[in-house]
Amino acid sequence: MNRLNQGWIAEATEKMLHKMEWVSEKSRNKIPYTTVNGVHDDRSTVEGGIDDGINWWCNGFWGGMMWQMYHTTGDNRYAEIARVSEGKLDRCFSDFYGLHHDVGFMYLPTAVADYCLTGNEESKKRGLHAANLLAGRFNPVGKFIRAWNEDLTGKEDRTGWAIIDCLFNIPLLYWATEETKDPRFKQIAMLHADTVMENFVRPDGSVRHIVEFDPETGEYVRDYGGQGYCQGSSWTRGQSWGLYGFLMSFRHTGKEEYLNTAKKIAHYFIANIPEDGLIPVDFRQPADPLWYDDTAAAIAACGLLEIAAQVGELEQEMYLNAAYKLLKALYDNHCDFTEDNDCVLTKCSSSYHAEDHEFAIIYGDYFFLEALLKIRGNDFYLW
């Protein structure tokens, strides 16, 4: 079956591109995270703590959407809007204290994308600066990249914490090696990926969100439920970070174990996709309340499409069918393409125990756009 002939795919893509035309102009001077009464907020104006506001880890995704639009349309207006985010993020370097391992999420879709697409030397400088900050978080004894900074409440000692999400940050290090020819960045990235492969991925293919190591000895201490339901559960966005993230490391290194690990996590994810294709916050959460997380579905769809591109024809069908099922379920049930809402996906959740669930989140829209453009054959691979 030629999936490209399915009408809903072309329809969804055209609706997404059309929405980006008008919402990009409406929000051109913002760095949105979610919506308030249907209108994009602006994270760059939030007066939060050092881990909030302009330092928010999601602040690269709007710029990433604009670079995807620039790549697919050639319209320089999208480049101009993307650079609004890039310029505002300079404040993070001067503030410094709010930056942690998520500089990959922040600078790959903005500065590095700019440099790769346009050759902008200032953007290259920003990307390399961020890569050096990320490399500086590496614990050489434990062979992991520390996730977050100190907990200002004093309740948690995060010195030895690493999280599954960082698989999306380490492509910044792979890029830095490719750009500078200095192997240290890539070596750090691979050592971290190896540690995650050994300590985060369970035998059944499910993954842990947070693992604590002794920062002095590197020994495994324990894991935490993190943003999932509980310790030992299966936070779905963590699953999607894992299956797509290991595929990214495979693409940059060719190390077969990374591809096999991505497939192992993907198999677990596929086996747990509900009949209706809509993904819950945690695969092991209670039946009631049934909270969804569209971001997990969109990220997983991207990863499944990328895995399919790396395997033979006999294997491809399983990954492609799962990706299309996830995207079709989102399109049929959880998309808002009207002008009543600046975001598209409507039922995203940041974590199981958060106060709010099933609202718009910008990275859900980013990965939904990325997935549709992958199917169309003209996405920009910014990871």
Judge whether 145 and 170 are in contact, CB under 8 Å: yes
Helices (H) then strands (E): counts for the chain: 14, 7
Known active-site residue 102: yes
pLDDT exceeds 80 at position 59: yes
> What integer pLDDT is reported at residue 155 of this predicted model?
82
The percentage of residues in the chain with a pLDDT greater than 90, rounded to a whole number, is: 94
Helices 294-308 and 236-253, packing angle to 10 deg? 30
Q: Which residues, listed in sequence order, are joined to residue 212 by a DSSP beta bridge?
A: 161, 222
pLDDT of amino acid 5: 52
Question: Cβ(223)–Cβ(210) under 8 Å?
Answer: yes
> pLDDT digit string (tens) for 303-328?
999 999 999 998 999 999 999 999 99
Residue 3, pLDDT above cutoff 60? no
What average pLDDT does range 48-57 have in this prediction?
A: 81
Phi, psi for residue 87 in degrees, rounded to 5: -65, -40
The shares of helix, strand and coil residues in the chain, as percent rounded to the nearest 5, are 55, 10, 40
Euclidean distance between CA atoms 341 and 74, whole angstroms: 26
The predicted-structure confidence for 351-360, as pLDDT tens digits, reads as follows 999 999 999 9
Catalytic status, residue 165: yes
Average pLDDT over residues 58-72: 98
Shortest CA distance to 64 belongs to which of 22, 114, 130? 114
**Whole-number pLDDT of residue 52:** 76
Q: Which residues of 239-265 are buried (b: 16+ CB within 10 A; e: fewer)?
A: bbbbbbbbbbbbbbbebeebbebbbbb
Q: How confident is the model at residue 50 (pLDDT cuts 50, 70, 90)?
A: low
**140 Cβ contact list (under 8 Å, min separation 6):** none
Going by C-alpha positions, the residue among 371, 376, 379, 370 that lies closest to residue 61 is 370
Q: Residue type for 172, please? A: L
Following CA atoms 266, 165, 176, 376 in sequence, which dihedral angle do they give, to the nearest 10 degrees? 50
Question: How high does pLDDT run on average in the chain?
Answer: 96
Q: How confident is the model at residue 15 (pLDDT cuts 50, 70, 90)?
A: very high
pLDDT score of 229 more than 80: yes
- Does residue 176 surpass a pLDDT of 60? yes
Q: What angle do CA 127, 128, 131 make, to 5 degrees?
A: 90
Q: How many CA atoms lie within 13 A of 12 on its CB side?
A: 28
pLDDT digits (tens, 9 = 90+) for 266-285: 999 999 999 999 999 999 99
- Whose tokens are 């990863």? That residue is 303
Task: Tell me the C-alpha distance between 201 and 327, whole Å.
Answer: 25
Catalytic residue among 102, 293, 294, 342: 102
Instruction: Give the model's confidence band at 4: pLDDT under 50 very low, under 70 low, under 90 confident, else very high.
Output: very low
Q: How confident is the model at residue 331, as a pLDDT?
A: 98
The mean per-residue pLDDT over the stretch 200-217 comes to 98
Q: What pLDDT was estimated at residue 202? A: 98
Q: What is the pLDDT of residue 357?
A: 97
Domains in the chain: ranges and CATH: 3-375 (1.50.10.10)
CA atoms within 13 A on the CB side of 50: 14
Other residues' Cβ atoms within 10 Å of the Cβ of residue 274:
13
Residue 2's pLDDT is: 47
pTM over 0.85: yes
CA-nearest of 134, 66, 61, 76 to 100 is: 134
Tokens 């959880």, residue? 334
130-170 pLDDT tens trace: 999 999 999 999 999 999 998 877 788 999 999 999 999 99
Q: Of the candidates 207, 237, 242, 239, which has an alpha carbon nearest to the alpha carbon of residue 223? A: 207
What's the DSSP call for residue 222?
A: E
The DSSP letter of residue 53 is G
C-alpha 13/C-alpha 19 separation (Å) is 10
- Measured N-to-C along each axis, helices 256-271 and 294-308 cross at an angle, to the nearest 10 degrees, of 130
What value does the mean pLDDT take over residues 21-29? 98
Instruction: Kindly name the residue from 41, 114, 165, 379 that is annotated as catalytic.
Output: 165
Using 50, 70 and 90 to split pLDDT, how confident is the model at 77? Answer: very high
User: Average of pLDDT values for 58-76?
Assistant: 98
